[in-house]
Structure 1
């Protein structure tokens, strides 16, 4: 029986972060698609919803918080767990993201192991 790995979308405006996260998640057995903008992410979510989204808080154009609002308003969007990626450590933005429906957050810089553990926790809680 063929088992399809969970699909994770990663939206971050930093190409190096996207690449490193993609490598780590691939090693963890996940299928990954990356996006440089929230607009690109939202278009992909509408076409093929992922198992989880990793979303940078600060993005050019629409922010990660804007994306959370859009996901909450989209059919089925609120059922996709979202982990926020943030390097700011601003408590107000973290609280706002959680209030908007984020499943949690990961502080930058992070280790691959810590990221995989956090994703595993969120996906397990979804089951």
Structure 2
């Protein structure tokens, strides 16, 4: 079981991801923006963070950069989960520090598999 922070401003997607990951046995903290994700990660370091790119306030890209620049969080695995599917968008996600990049719409089963793979690589 892993502790996972999910940040997405779309309540339906946030709840779907949280449900699927809880069903897979993970402890999930779901928040609505990048600032709240950084705060959740700082308050209690998770094993993984999943960030939407386009959110009000702090974007997922900015949150990833903040996480990567924080020494206590620098090695935290990050998955971007976003509708931004252009090659340049994906490149920006990896440049910001993402370990994986999943494009919406997505399969909840694939998401769970990729979460497992990223967590396994991090251990």
TM-score (norm 1): 0.93
Q: 1:56 aligns with which of 52, 55, 59?
A: 52
Segments of structure 2 that go 5 or more residues without pairing to the other structure are none
SS state at 1:13 partner:
coil
Gaps in structure 1 of 5+ consecutive residues = none
1:1-127 to 2 correspondences below 5 Å: 5-127=1-123
Cα distance in 2 for partners of 1:78, 1:90 equals: 26
Answer yes or no: is the 8 Å Cα contact 1:78–1:101 preserved in 2. no
TM-score (norm 2): 0.95
Contact 2:79–2:102 under 8 Å retained in 1? yes
Distance in 1 of aligned mates of 2:44 and 2:32: 17
- In 1, Cα distance between the equivalents of 2:114 and 2:14? 17
Q: Which runs of 4+ in 1 moved over 3 A?
A: none
Larger CA Rg, structure 1 vs 2: 1
- Following TM superposition, by how much is the alpha carbon of 1:59 offset from its aligned partner in structure 2, in angstroms? 0.7
